[in-house]
Structure 1
Amino acid sequence: MVFVVLWSTGFIVAKFGLPYAPPLTFLLLRFGGVLLVLLPLVLLMRAPWPHGRLLHIAFAGILLQGGYLAGVWCAIKLGMPAGLSALIVGMQPILTAFAAPFVGETVRPRQWLGLLLGICGVGLVVAAKITLVGLSWTSIGLCLMALVSMTAGTLYQKRYCPHFDLRTGTIIQFAASFVVLLPFAIFYEHLTPALDAVQWTSRFIGALLWSIFALSIGAIFLLFALIRKSAATRVTSLLYLTPPTTALMAWLMFGEVFNLMGIAGMVVAILGVIFVMKK
């Protein structure tokens, strides 16, 4: 539940941070901040570095961090409604279930029922927020890229590198993601002018710090621990709880709509996750 709450704040952070910085520039500052925080701690604690799996860990990180976050944030910046992006990315548990044999897992009929209930619940929650205004093929493509990237990253890590020291493994993944995103930020956002254009307001600084500590360190550590201990389908089913929790947060913080349909969607999504998780 701690993971669900932390992960759900991602869209709230986007609402606070995107008005003050281009998306890729924000992500580079976020990834760089993680490295500045973790690297001295890792060296001080003499945490073990992985041997023989470094490339696997780095590739999984590029998919989980770079591909997923860049896709969602750029899509929202281009005008993709947050509700629709949440619905598209919310297809991940079903996509993961179809690919479960790749990691030697089977999905039982009751779990398939839970997955279908989960996506129906997400649809009910975001129904009031779905609009086609500002929608483009580019933003749709970026959201689909984020969906595929997150799913592939979860399955790849589950199969090839589920066990590694979270401290050093996280550094490897964020360093690899930083290197991959850097040329895109330079080409598309003209990085130096973009950095000069960053508005260092209290909202932006708060969003950046929360992204570094709560999301990129706290939530990611929990995600990796869950991938290590549970089946990929069960882990990703928890993401069905993200849109309802985010909608509840947005209602409390920004006064956004959260009606009876949203409450019904939250109940259906929770029921779906129970069907998937229950042994």
Structure 2
Amino acid sequence: MTALRLDTETTAHSAATALSGDVGLRPFRVSDLEAAQALSVQQQWPHRLEDWRFALAHGAGVVAERDGAVVGTALRWLWGTDRASLGLVIVSPALQGQGIGGRLMSALLQDAGRRHVLLYATAEGRALYARLGFCSVGEIRQHQGIALKTPGPLLAEGERLRPPDRCDGDVLAALDVKAAGLPRPSVLRQLLVDEQAVVFDRKGQAVGFSVLRRFGRGHVIGPVVAPDVASARALIRHWCNLYAGQFLRIDVDAESGLPEWLDCLGLRRVGRVTAMVRGKLPPRGAASGGWALISQSMG
């Protein structure tokens, strides 16, 4: 976890407002995880305590506090020297509409500095993010449900799905950077070590991969990185067949050609968010090989 520093003015204001019973800001601590998870439950988000812990381990954040209670959260992740993503921006329902979300976002953006920043906005948050200089660049569809076992076409000659090996790390990291537009080797390294992964191998070369991990109500598929829609479908179908009858989730590019196909696998569309960028990020998404996110917060 990397530290997030609030400037002197923000910190002084936070201390003063906390004493007056108003809302103040301070850095997110590990001890805030349970309170943050409780806030996400209020939003009817599925995040477990373990999901929050995974997110915080690779980033940092800020909380809004009132009378010693956490009433808002926001996290950021710094990718390399010039890119970042923001997420898990939550304000207690009782305090929404009072500018707390804007203060949380301003603190994160100050910490991100001149970096180009990505986030995924709910309908409720889009206006705020637009005022902060974010522009819409696409849409993500959330699909979930009880997976169905579905036969698919045979792989072409020279193609196979296999487990990752120790020699794949750098290749998969490079594929992920191109697909996501974000250099995030530490996250990918943890996923490959701690979670389940499969590699799409074409004539002895790793050209794609996907990860499945515990999340929320069941498991989430993502990221999915592949050179074309056929190989992306093969990677997703692998998990649906392996976990047929169980709850799966996946977040995909709306223009990927996958949403209607996912419906047939039992993974129905249940929501959508808008991809928004402040600054400029390289092309990402299906056209660059990125078919599914790690999460809507981290990208």
Greater Rg, structure 1 or structure 2?
2
The answer, yes or no, to whether TM exceeds 0.5 is no
Q: Which has more strand, going by share of residues?
A: 2
Tell me the TM-score normalized by structure 1. Answer: 0.24
Higher relative contact order, chain-length normalized (CA < 8 Å, sep 6+): 1
Tell me the TM-score normalized by structure 2. Answer: 0.23
Q: Which has more helix, going by share of residues?
A: 1
